[in-house]
Amino acid sequence: MLGCRLRKLREAKGLTRKAVADQLSMTPEGYSYYETGKRNPSPDSLSRLADLYNVSTDYILGKTDNSSVTVKSDLEDYRFAFYGDITDGLTEDDLETVAEFAAFVREQRKKKSEK
């Protein structure tokens, strides 16, 4: 299931195995082991694959057929950092915008740390 999902997600994005392997800082042969079921990705690689394909790790692992990432759960993880309830008065579209911005900030931080 895992290998099949990874292959389908990669092909749907129009990516080569090499392109995905580069994103994971591994060899194309190493990545191909994921798609053929010879090896399973580490938790870090699984998380990076989910980010790359904008799906949940549960979807990649075959625990659910729902590929969408839940916006509210992402926000609820960060709610403790704010005074009051950050979601009060926000629409679903607003929550998506906030989640997209949070993902952007995380990506920028990751790029800075890789330099």
Q: Rounded to 5 degrees, what are φ and ψ at 83?
A: -80, 125
How many CB atoms are located within 10 Å of the residue 58 CB?
A: 14
Judged on CB neighbours under 10 Å (0-12, 13-18, 19+), 57 is: middle
Instruction: Give the whole-angstrom CA distance, residue 84 versus residue 8.
Output: 42
- Using a cut of 0.75, tell me whether the model's pTM lies above it: no
- Comparing 110 with 94, which gets the higher pLDDT? 110
For 2-61, the fitting CATH number among 1.10.260.40, 1.20.1050.10, 1.20.1250.30, 1.10.340.70 is: 1.10.260.40
* Domain boundaries along the sequence of the chain: 2-61, 71-114
19-74 residue pLDDT tens: 999 989 999 999 999 999 999 999 999 999 998 988 888 889 988 887 765 544 45
**Cβ atoms of residues 29 and 62 within 8 Å:** no
**pLDDT at residue 82, rounded to an integer:** 43
